């Protein structure tokens, strides 16, 4: 669902230079960081959103408990910088360590926007 949201935002944007970011750790956003519950392999933790960015081809999200996710989508133009034949790419890490088994990774918003940009 969020993949389609990223695509939809890109279609409605004025061009590939469009981007939207919220960084809740540097004081640039006046509202408090939204809370979320991130669950992995049945273990759930309540955390806050550190940052969320998206543009026509990608989204990135990071949480205070160390989870970071990024998603890139190729529209066929090569603008996303993906290798030939790769349609999309999702990268997940926890405290800088890559996580490949993401089937049980779930985000549940506690506050509105708590899971913004979460690509899974």
Tokens of 92: 């997940």
In a domain, 41, yes or no: yes
In a domain, 117, yes or no: no
In a domain, 115, yes or no: no
pTM for this predicted structure: 0.75
In a domain, 116, yes or no: no
In a domain, 90, yes or no: yes
- Per-residue model confidence as pLDDT tens digits over 2-54: 454 344 444 444 334 456 899 999 988 999 999 999 999 999 999 999 999 98
In a domain, 120, yes or no: no
What residue numbers bound the domain in which 103 lies?
2-10+19-26+33-109
In a domain, 37, yes or no: yes
Tally: H helices and E strands in the chain: 1, 8
Count of structural domains within the chain: 1
């Amino acid at each position: 669902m969020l993949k389609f949201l990223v695509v939809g935002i890109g279609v409605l944007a004025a061009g590939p230079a469009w981007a939207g970011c919220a960084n809740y750790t540097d004081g640039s956003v006046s509202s408090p960081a939204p809370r979320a519950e991130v669950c992995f392999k049945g273990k759930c933790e309540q955390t806050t959103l550190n940052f969320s960015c998206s543009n026509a081809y990608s989204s990135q999200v990071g949480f205070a408990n160390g989870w970071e996710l990024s998603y890139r989508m190729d529209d066929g133009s090569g603008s996303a910088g993906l290798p030939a034949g790769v349609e999309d790419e999702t990268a997940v890490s926890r405290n800088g360590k890559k996580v490949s088994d993401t089937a049980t990774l779930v985000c549940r918003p506690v506050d509105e926007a708590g899971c913004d940009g979460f690509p899974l």
